[in-house]
Chain A
């Protein structure tokens, strides 16, 4: 088992594979920023509910809650989890057991990297499609949430987009791997590391 390959430096490869990877990176970074906004909004929403409950004790004109806090903070949480996953994958931070992969070295490492990306494609592409169809079914049934009557296709669409971004990044990773370019771009990593 080994650490995520932080040592892999990102150089600028050229060609169609690099163009595809560049596009995937741009989309992933945009989605990651959207995920960050979701986390911010989630925090503010929960804080708003606390302050409303607190101040309504003194000021009867203040409502006791937003009424949607629990529901929407859960939507925002799920959205942030999936929207950030493409960029996290590209940064080389998604967790794996690298014991076999890294002990072989060189060409075999790349082979296993490709195998793992292929498995990733085989899982994430159908999941993204299933989520999109799920979202469309909910839309066509006109289903809304139990408490706020929010159309459920909206949070489902965000999840589908997050899954699609991950799938796109996974496809790009497979192509990048086949083209022999570096698969991880560690400069994208922001999660605080000690070493």
Chain B
């Protein structure tokens, strides 16, 4: 087993380092493992896997949110969001950087996915922040960090998947996500204030005067948030109003975004062409990586690798808090190479009994899993949120990883906090659902 795991990592990271595309490297590794170690006819196995993964209904919200993002990118929503939130965000140290965090928190309550949140909010905010002269370091870092709120603040595709696999109420998981989500968002905000106070040059000179605006103007600015609120009604309203399931709500989001861009006269034939082909390209980037990561996840399951790793951990006979720390390390390592869904599907069968035995609540562990999946979104080489930010900004993975690192540390600290005070997670569902 050790030899297999070693060759897996050597091959995967070797091909990645040589410049292979991420999807191709994952597929090559999977084919190699399947070929040498399983004895299964891989010429029949892989097409079945590809068909299964690419036709998973749970993923349908992804292209819809990507399409919505492409529409929103061509509306004046980003400017409107800024003129609406800026007078208020401008009151805090760090100024408009808080629009990243607040924007992600709001959009996370619309979208079930972290990637979609990063995508849509990044499209709206990064352009403005960079144009206004904010340091790319903090602008990109805060987006990559706050974008992960997409899974933690409900609705959440990860929670749905965990609920099904762990036999836990999805409603309870959703409810449990609110307080940690808002809390983490507040911690990100606090970090931005601290960081920009210690290093003022991260915020451009011209932005520092904004706090002297009359209150009447600040209130008047709120009307610019109308399109964003309309979209929240399209997605959240349709979902909680019983009109649509979470995936269906994503389609109403596309319709809403279409309506907004139409009403702003922002749609041209050329624009529509770019929206469609842009959505195709982003979908394809995501799709090929999901494909490679899921196939590799399946093959490692067949070889029993996650089970072996987890049973090794069990043998160490750790105390609950040390177990959680060990699991954080385990998931951080797995999360560099695996995509969140495969990570859950492959490890949960072994890890969940282990965690329950240590006395942790299943709802609590669901939130833990959501957080480690979110960390996997921002740890290279396989890092979806980086993929999106790279797509938006053209910045290198190394740069994005460096500026996101403080936010990764904050999240690790946050998980440890949740382990010490599990009530943060279980309080709201216990209160509302008994």
Contacts and interface: CB of A to CB of B under 8 A. Distances in A.
- Tell me what chain B mostly uses at the interface: helix, strand, loop, or mixed: helix
A14 to B, nearest CB: 27
Contacts of B277: 32-33, 36, 87, 190-191
Contacts of A79: 54
Interface residues of B, number: 80
B21 A95 contact: yes
Contacts of A85: 284, 287-288
A192 B390 contact: no
A142 B369 CA distance: 41
A95 B394 contact: no
B15 interface: yes
Contact of A119 (B24, B279, B286, B398): B24
Interface string A112-151: 1101100110111011001101110100000000000000
A179 interface: no
A32 to B, nearest CB: 5
Contact of A74 (B19, B60, B252, B286): B60
A194 B382 CA distance: 22
A87 B20 contact: no
B20 A43 contact: no
A30 interface: no
Contacts, number: 242
A47 B390 contact: no
- Tell me what chain A mostly uses at the interface: helix, strand, loop, or mixed: helix
Contacts of A83: 280
Contact of B278 (A46, A131, A192): A192
B387 A95 contact: yes
B395 A3 contact: yes
Contacts of A135: 47
B196 interface: no
Interface of A: 1-4, 6, 32-33, 35-36, 39-40, 42-43, 46-47, 49-50, 53-54, 70-71, 73-75, 77-85, 87-89, 91, 93-101, 112-113, 115-116, 119-120, 122-124, 126-127, 130-131, 133-135, 137, 155-156, 159, 163, 189-195
Nearest to B273: A190
Contacts of A1: 380, 396-399
Contacts of A155: 51, 55
Given A78-B54, A94-B288, A88 B393 contact: no
A36 B280 contact: yes
Interface stretch (B166-174, B184-192, B202-210, B242-250): B242-250
